[in-house]
Amino acid sequence: MPNLPTRYQLWYGRDEPPVERRSLYAGPAAAELEEIDLRYVRVGAIEVLRRLYVAIRDHNWNTIPAELSGLEVEAGGDGFAVRFEARNRTDEIDFRWRGAIEGAPDGTITAEMDGVAGSDFRYNRIGFCILHPPNVAGRPYRARTPGGPLAGELPSSIGPQEIRDGTIYPLFPSYDELAIDLEGGTTVQFAFEGDLFEMEDQRNWTDGSFKTYSTPLALGFPHRATTGQAIRQRVVMSLELRGGARAPAAASAVPRLGLGEGLGWSLPRLGLGAASHGRALSEREAELLRAVRPDHLRADFHLREPVLRGQVELAAGDAAALGAALELAVFVTDDAEQELGELALLLPPGGAAVERVLVFHEGEKSTDARWIRLAREHLGPALGAVPFAGGTNAYFCELNRGRPEISAVDAVTYSISPQVHASDEASIVETAEAGADTVRSARAFSGDRPIVVSPVTLLPRFNPNATGPEPQPAPGELPPQVDPRQMSLFGAAWTVASLHHLAESGAGSVTYYEATGWRGVIETDEGSPLPERFPSRPGMVFPVYHVLADLAERRDAEVIALSASDPLTADGLALRSGGVLRILLAGLVPSAQRVVLEGLPDGAAVLRRLNEVTAGVALFDPEGFRAGPGDTAPVEGGRLELELSPYEVVRVDVGA
């Protein structure tokens, strides 16, 4: 058996310990400090602020990390003070700033930044971002704008980020004061200095938040900073607690996951993307992937480039080897009639059926109905009664502000990446719940059309909003589409959480990742091209492989509602076939924790653990791992209490 990756590489793909967090208290408010970001501010059980941080984003919206120095933290029983210096720099950008965050006994939190440009550079944003938790959806707000006071309710369905005449519009006009009424009689208030701020619904990009940010988008971008230019901002968050002051939130209780009722539907159709490395599956790779039983294999064809018969046959051959259909993603230009006519001559592909056709236009972020109709006209005779889907190859945001003509499509499609705005593990975990919001919001304007989420990838495949050429990776660096967490326990745990919310919300089909390689679910026979950066081993399967194989064994089972008391800590997915329950339970934090499953039938549960201890067998002898008898644990009073190690996935079978 090859040498295993290190402990932390197994956890999340890189050989470094997790970022430390520190609990801070400001009177009735409790918060977590992660480096210089304030996260998860709560009053009792109510989350009032998800994150407060400073963002420096370049002309392509890339976030520039900060180099920190002089970090000082003073924490007492009912207040705190954080001070530091930071520098954000790239080849073009050089920005230095001093920061301070203070918490007062009455729950007021004040944050300040005082910065200066060390060079001339372009940027799209410099300043504070305030992430409001998803529980603000549907809640009343009040704002002070340059045009006067404003009041309303934040959207329950995802609010579109509209573009009119080339201008991007926020949810409502820019403001320097904002108040949001939360449940339980709590109001959170913000006052801003140094710029006007405005809000977007970040669920458009599957972030689990609404975001207040500085510098109105109507001013355009990129902006230009000149050497010596000062940029200063101040944010004050205060609380109004009707009914009297409350004690700060206590240490987290044991997470509980409770089974509910059956939802009346089974899992979405689950597929994989064709490997972007362009090589056919080997016999060993195909044999392994058949255990995953993908319903389809997504293959992309950009018709502005000549599509060779060999490309179609490669995709069809791989799909046939897996016993899967093809999901054809077809990209046309304004010469669509000729392009589609030429593609039609290569269809149907030998050896594989076509499950659906996704139609996109190279110059449009959301597909115009005419391209759908042309694709149906030219490809339909060769493919038969195959559904044609329209929407976007980018994020839900583009679908939401460019909604397709529903009468022209058989299904609606968009993609998901959890790293559009942030890349730390906690932020990625936050995105899982928002996946359900995208499905429900799409359903609101697509009627009974199936929702096709294709693909889901850990990192974005491309930048749909770049305002300049994307930089190429330096020698020895990973491509921007490759995340070493693909081969990690974290990748598997997040996939469980992601699929939980997509399945419960009724998605019709989901395409996850690719078949093989460093964007896939198993490593190739050749292994990682950059093992020092992507520390897989030749031929290993990735932990997410076992998640998909566990689901393949219960593909037709009914999805059961599963509620999580703290879905940012532990989440899961429940299925039932006959009297047999299968639950995939995922730990989402880099620490051991106790969790409780509730609502189970009494008896014996059979457990199979996927963690750093079992990884040696799971990743290099997957058949042996899957054939093992597992452990047993008693279910008494409908409860099963387990201890999860960091980013562990536990398969729980009850009634087998």
Q: Among the listed ranges 3-17, 251-265, 354-368, which one has the minimum average pLDDT value? A: 251-265
Tens digits of per-residue pLDDT, 10-21? 999 999 999 999
pLDDT surpasses 90 at 126: yes
Residue 468 is predicted with a pLDDT of 65
Give the type of residue at 154.
Answer: L
pLDDT in tens, 533-587: 999 999 999 999 999 999 999 999 999 999 999 999 999 999 999 889 999 999 9
Per-residue pLDDT tens for 338-350? 999 999 999 988 7
C-alpha to C-alpha distance for 280 and 354, rounded to whole angstroms: 18
Average predicted confidence (pLDDT) for the chain: 95
Bridge partners of 395, per DSSP, are 415
Q: What are phi and psi of 105, to 5 degrees?
A: -60, -25
- Nearest Cα to 128, choosing from 178, 78, 169, 91? 178
The strand pair at 256-266 and 558-564 is best described as antiparallel
Does 526 score more than 60 pLDDT? yes
The answer to whether the CB of 42 falls within 8 A of the CB of 29 is yes
175 forms bridges with which residues in the sheet? Answer: 197
Checking if the pLDDT of 479 tops 90, the result is: yes
In this prediction, residue 1 carries a pLDDT of 59
Per residue in 379-405, pLDDT tens?
Answer: 999 999 999 999 999 999 999 999 999
Verify cis geometry, omega within 30 degrees of 0, for the bond prior to 601: no
* DSSP calls for 565-615: S-TTTEEEEEEEETTEEEEEEEE-SSS-EEEEEESPPSEEEEEEEESTTTH
* Residues 239, 201 contacting (CB under 8 angstroms): no
In the predicted structure, residue 473 carries a pLDDT above the cut 60 = yes
Amino acid 419: pLDDT: 96
From the list 515, 542, 538, the residue with the least C-alpha distance to 277 is: 515
What pLDDT, on a 0 to 100 scale, did the predictor assign at position 240? 95
Tens-digit pLDDT profile for residues 595-644: 999 999 999 999 999 999 999 999 999 999 999 999 999 999 999 999 99
pLDDT of residue 536: 96
The secondary structure of 359-411, three-state, reads EEECCCCCCCHHHHHHHHHHHHHHHCCCCEEEEEEEEHHHHHHCCCCHHHCCE
Predicted pLDDT of residue 348: 84
Torsion of CA 211, 215, 221, 227, to 10 degrees: -130
What CA–CA distance (Å, rounded) separates 372 from 359? 6
**For range 415-443, the mean pLDDT:** 97
425/533 Cα distance (integer angstroms):
18
Q: Does residue 377 carry a pLDDT above 60?
A: yes
Asked if residue 470 has pLDDT above 90, the reply is no
Percent of the chain clearing pLDDT 90 (strictly above): 90
More reliable by pLDDT, 57 or 656:
57
List the structure tokens of 332: 């046309």
CA 556 to chain CA centroid, Å, is: 26
Give the model confidence (pLDDT) of 175-211 as tens digits: 999 999 999 899 999 999 999 999 999 999 999 999 9
Q: Are 391 and 454 in contact (CB under 8 A)?
A: no
Confidence (pLDDT) at 244: 57
Residue 329's Cα: distance from chain center in Å? Answer: 22
Q: How confident is the model at residue 2 (pLDDT cuts 50, 70, 90)?
A: low
Q: Which bin fits 635, alpha (ψ -120 to 50), beta or left (φ > 0)?
A: beta
Structure tokens at 449: 């059309």
| pLDDT range class, residue 246, cuts 50, 70, 90 | low
The pLDDT score that the predictor gives to residue 314 is 94
Q: Is the pLDDT of residue 4 over 90?
A: no
Mean pLDDT score, 470-494? 93
Residue 252, pLDDT above cutoff 70: no
Q: Using a cut of 0.85, tell me whether the model's pTM lies above it.
A: yes
- The percentage of residues in the chain with a pLDDT greater than 70, rounded to a whole number, is 97
User: b/e string for 456-476 if b means 16 or more Cβ within 10 A?
Assistant: bbbbbbeebbeeeeeeeeeee
| Per-residue pLDDT at 194 | 97
Rounded-to-integer distance, Cα 181 and Cα 202, Å? 19
What structural domains does the chain harbor?
21-241 (2.70.98.10), 268-553 (3.20.20.80), 560-654 (2.60.40.1180)
